[in-house]
Amino acid sequence: MHEIRIAEDLSAIVLETAKREKLSKVTKVNISFGVLVQIVPDIFIFAFSETVRNTIAQDAEVNIEIVSVKMICKKCGNDFGVEENRFVCANCRSTDLEIIHGKELFIKSIEGE
């Protein structure tokens, strides 16, 4: 259900940006979500369309890129993709890791005219 709140925050940013850039219409919103954020794209797109109803962004197409999990090992410096929630260094087996991708909740760009 966090899709709704995140969609609300996104629509606020989209509308503010559109106003600042003096757009009359927002046509596309490009965003990226990390796998770990566990957002269901269909629910998110529905929630977003509700929050921008009757605004200049109501017809905007929402493009969602899903980013898979990538980590870096703090011990040996190895960076690797994570599958099936195994957060263990594939090289040295260390669990002292940092997430570098997979937690994204980013707006990449907003298109309009």
Partner 1 sequence: MKNILDRNQNKAGEVRNLLVAKKVLMVNLISSPGAGKTTLLERTCEELNKKFRIGIIEGDITTDRDAQRLKKYNIPIVVINTEGGCHLDSHSISKVLDSFDLDDLDVLFVENVGNLICPSQFDLGETFKLAIVSTTEGDDKPGKYPMLFREAKAVLLNKIDLIPYTNFKRETFNSDLKNINGQVPLFEISCTRGNGLKEWIKWISKQILSTSSTEV
If 0-12 CB within 10 Å is exposed, 13-18 middle and 19+ buried, where does residue 88 land?
middle
Binding-site size for partner 1 (CB under 8 A) equals 25
Binding mask 9-48 for partner 1 (x = CB under 8 A): xx-xx-----------------xx---xxx----------
Question: Would you say 47 and 7 are in contact if contact means Cβ atoms under 8 Å apart?
Answer: yes
Q: Does 54 bind partner 1 (CB under 8 A)?
A: no
Determine how β-strand 61-67 pairs with β-strand 26-34: parallel
- Contacts with partner 1, residue ranges (CB under 8 A): 1-2, 5-6, 9-10, 12-13, 31-32, 36-38, 85-88, 95-96, 99, 103, 105-108
